[in-house]
């Protein structure tokens, strides 16, 4: 059931991407794209695939689930490769049936974040219903601090499963923590009406958060793309091709999930084949050629922030 709720949430993110994707921009402006791999630290398979796609493919940035069991392996890589681009995939959920994680902070400090077994809630609806904002702030800081203790050089923050967009006060915490640590957060610079309807927290607090981020000269994306639909690898491949061919000027982020379709990853998630497909597509020389043909410049979050300055 948790997997089903996760897929529904990702379809909602796709709605955001589709609306933002249609925003108009002036012709002749450059096209910048952050190719961003989520869920690093989740498993050995995901770590291997993310690293391979960063070193031998097109992935320019990755974000790390700090409470996950394989975080230390990816953190070790990040410490030894500070030239690459890493964010924290701030997690208030642990969505898989048998592979679960709890908070980084002591459970007695964040009791509203955990279920009866001591794990983070398995879906965003329960986060919105149960989590106290002040305890969420404690946990987010704990995740960032742990990454820094492990030597991870950080460039940005984002939100696992969009949980920090589920309530206005959690949205406030998300932006506040980013500003506190002087780290950009994943955010779009203009909230379209359809997006505001889909995400009430953005409708009520999005404009104020954008102004706070602008005041600190934090970078704001023009659009986000993320695709979970497509029954076959060929259908998903075509979605990515269409996205790249239709990319307007401005700064976009394309969120993908890398993995190797092996026994470990299949035991965790039913998305193993899709993650393997994402890895293959963004390690394919044909995809690199298409990006060059379309005049797209692939950048990192570090470069994006430097552009704002």
**Is beta strand 223-226 parallel, antiparallel or unpaired with respect to 86-90?**
unpaired
Cβ pair 279, 46 in contact under 8 A: no
For the chain, the domains span 2-308
pTM of the model: 0.91
pLDDT number for residue 27: 52
Per residue of the chain (309 residues), what is the pLDDT tens digit?
343 333 333 433 434 343 333 333 445 689 999 999 999 999 999 999 999 999 999 999 999 999 999 999 999 999 999 999 999 999 999 999 999 999 999 999 999 999 999 999 999 999 999 999 999 999 999 999 999 999 999 999 999 999 999 999 999 999 999 999 999 999 999 988 888 888 889 989 999 999 999 999 999 999 999 988 788 999 999 999 999 999 999 999 999 999 999 999 999 999 999 999 999 999 999 999 999 999 999 999 999 999 987
Instruction: List Cα–Cα distances, 305 to 76, 210, 274, in angstroms.
Output: 25, 15, 30
Which among 172, 188, 185 has a CA at the least distance from the CA of 216? 185
Range 143-182 burial, b when 16+ CB lie within 10 A, else e: bbebbeebebebbbbbbbbbbbbbbbbbbbbbbbbbbebe
Task: For domain 2-308, say whether CATH 3.20.20.370 is its number.
Answer: yes
Other Cβ atoms closer than 10 A to 25: 12
Rounded to a whole number, what is the largest CA-CA distance in the chain?
55
């Amino acid at each position: 059931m948790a997997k089903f709720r996760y897929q529904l949430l990702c379809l909602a993110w796709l709605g955001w991407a589709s609306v933002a994707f249609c925003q108009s921009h002036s012709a002749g402006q450059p096209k910048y794209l952050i190719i961003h791999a989520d869920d690093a630290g989740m498993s050995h398979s995901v770590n291997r695939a993310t690293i391979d796609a960063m070193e031998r493919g097109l992935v320019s940035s990755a974000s790390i689930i700090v409470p996950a069991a394989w975080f230390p392996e990816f953190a070790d890589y990040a410490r030894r490769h500070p030239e690459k681009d890493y964010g924290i995939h701030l997690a208030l959920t642990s969505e898989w049936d048998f592979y679960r994680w709890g908070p980084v902070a002591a459970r007695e400090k964040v009791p509203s974040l955990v279920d009866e077994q001591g794990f983070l809630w398995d879906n965003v609806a329960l986060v919105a219903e149960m989590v106290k904002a002040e305890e969420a702030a404690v946990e987010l800081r704990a995740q960032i601090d742990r990454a820094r203790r492990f030597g991870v050089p950080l460039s940005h923050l984002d939100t696992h499963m969009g949980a920090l967009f589920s309530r206005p006060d959690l949205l406030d915490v998300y932006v506040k923590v980013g500003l506190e640590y002087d780290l950009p957060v994943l955010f779009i610079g203009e909230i379209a009406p359809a997006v505001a309807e889909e995400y009430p927290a953005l409708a009520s607090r999005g404009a104020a958060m954008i102004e706070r981020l602008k005041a600190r000269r934090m970078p704001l994306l023009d659009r986000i793309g993320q695709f979970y639909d497509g029954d076959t690898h060929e259908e998903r491949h075509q979605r990515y091709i269409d996205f790249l061919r239709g990319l307007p000027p401005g700064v976009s982020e394309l969120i993908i999930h890398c993995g190797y379709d092996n026994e470990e990853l299949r035991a965790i998630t039913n998305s193993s084949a899709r993650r393997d497909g994402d890895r293959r597509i963004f390690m394919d020389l044909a995809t690199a050629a298409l990006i060059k043909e379309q005049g797209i410049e692939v950048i990192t979050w570090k470069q994006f922030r430097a552009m704002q300055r």
